[in-house]
Amino acid sequence: MTIEEFRASLRADEPPAALSAPLQALWWDGRGQWSRGHDLINDVESPDAMAVHAYLHRKEGSDWNADYWYGRAGRTFHRAKLDEEWTALVEGLLRHNG
């Protein structure tokens, strides 16, 4: 799946079945359902999931919580704009899923 196909899938009622939990969380966030994405990723213990978890808390405005999850994911950076970070996360995760 490409980033364009992922974005197009946001018009559906449910995420594509083959998506990993981190991608599903970003899918729900992309649909404006932050809490549904967060609930889906909250208990997933992988570096990818933790990176998405960090992004979601950053979007929420909870920088201290985002920093905690970035650390758990082994990351010390994020992109300046939330939409750029969302795109980078989706693209990276799609490469892993593909």
Per-residue pLDDT in tens (0 to 9) along the chain, 98 residues: 999 999 999 999 999 988 999 999 999 999 999 999 999 999 899 999 999 999 999 999 999 999 999 999 998 777 789 999 999 999 999 998 75
Q: Is 25 part of a structural domain of the chain?
A: no
Nearby residues of 15 by Cβ (< 8 Å), 6 or more positions away: 9, 23, 24, 27, 28
Q: Is 85 part of a structural domain of the chain?
A: yes
What number of CA atoms fall less than 13 Å from residue 98's CA on the CB side?
11
Q: pTM here?
A: 0.93
Q: What is the pLDDT of residue 79?
A: 75
Number of domains in the chain: 1
Q: Is 19 part of a structural domain of the chain?
A: no
Q: What is the pLDDT of residue 71?
A: 93
> Domain limits at 80?
30-97
Q: Is 24 part of a structural domain of the chain?
A: no
